[in-house]
Amino acid sequence: MSLRDDLAARIAAQGPITVAEYMAEALLHPTYGYYSTRDPLGAEGDFTTAPEISQMFGELVGLSLAQSWLDQGAPSPFTLAELGPGRGTLMADILRATARVPGFLGAARITLVEASDTLRDVQRKTLAGHEVTYAETPDDLPEAPLWLVANEFFDALPIRQFQRDGAGWRERCVGLDAGKLSFGLSPVGPQASLNHRLDDTENGWLVEVCPSAPSILSAIGARIEAHGGAALIIDYGDWRSLGDTLQALRHHEPTDPLADPGQADLTTHVDFEALAQSATPAAHTRITPQGVFLERLGITARAQALAAKLDGPALEAHVAAHRRLTHPAEMGNLFKVLGLFPTTAAPPPGLEI
């Protein structure tokens, strides 16, 4: 039995499922789900995130958070949280970079929001020596000052897809065609939540909606506005969703999203406008290209300081990592950064309103 067989039997008995339902099963099914069964990161996995490319990324993210903490009066204690922390590499770099910020680590209560038991085991090893607690969802984070980072978290949340049809919408679903999983469209109908998209779409255009994002951002924004703090959301996408962005990656290569559910990573581009609006009453920054954000924080100077101690292949790899993180043709423009902060405070360093 495979997840493909399981889904095919379910669809045959009950009818097509939404793209969101398909993504949830493919990524988080307890037996066959992608994140439930493996460590997907690095050379042996299916994709590589910015923290795995270079320590500079996590160091600068950490220093932005720490400066924001200082700017807000250095409250103690506070929650230092990460959503979807992967191997724990980003948090480890944040903790190392902020160790010299007086009082920061002593006041921090490290909390990770992670669904995968496999990755939790890896994170505990990476962060050995630090006291770490886990939260099942952002709703479970303490009612306390909150400094949070989410790097490539929202792109893996299940999304629904809707195709414009006149003044209504057809939902894109996953069904069966000659026994194989295939995409299809539901009958046309109204979607009140998409009424505002009738002004900027045309017949046949597709938009994506992430059903779980609003509650996550609402929990984060409410804590930040009520108790102080900041959030850095780093992901690929743009201000407003448009077009089919569902993609699958296996062994670092694109593949058919329906070919082998549970065997490939599924992601979509993030609708930053929806995230920002869901975080009210907290304030939000403009979305900023990752390369610009890192340059504002001094990544080139940091890269030069590290390069002075390197030569040969190590130096070449370091230069390539700097380029990959910042260059517009690589991650520098594809990835964006959104900051959340209290309406009475300044935005996190590296970002503007």
- pLDDT per residue over 181-199, tens digit each? 999 999 999 999 999 999 9
82 and 112 Cβ atoms separated by less than 8 Å = yes
For residue range 65-122, what is the model confidence (pLDDT) as tens digits? 999 999 999 999 999 999 999 999 999 999 999 999 999 999 999 999 997 788 899 9
pLDDT at 131: 97
Q: Where are the beta strands (DSSP E) in 240-309?
A: 247-250, 253-255, 265-267, 270-271, 283-284, 288-289
Collapsing DSSP to helix, strand or coil, 112 comes out as: strand
How far apart are alpha carbons 296 and 278 in whole angstroms?
Answer: 27
First to last CA, the chain: 52
Residue 43, pLDDT score: 46
The mean of the pLDDT values for the chain is: 94
Amino acid identity of residue 182, one-letter, is S
Query: CB-side exposure of 349: number of CA atoms within 13 Å?
Result: 18
Q: Supply the pLDDT for residue 326.
A: 95
222-247: pLDDT as tens digits: 999 999 999 999 999 999 999 999 99
Per-residue pLDDT at 288 exceeds 50: yes
pLDDT of residue 211: 95
CA-CA distance, 240 to 254, in Å (whole number)?
24
pTM assigned to the model: 0.93
| Rounded mean pLDDT, 308-314 | 93
Question: 170-185: b or e for each residue (b if 16 or more CB lie within 10 Å)?
Answer: bbbbbbbeeeebebeb
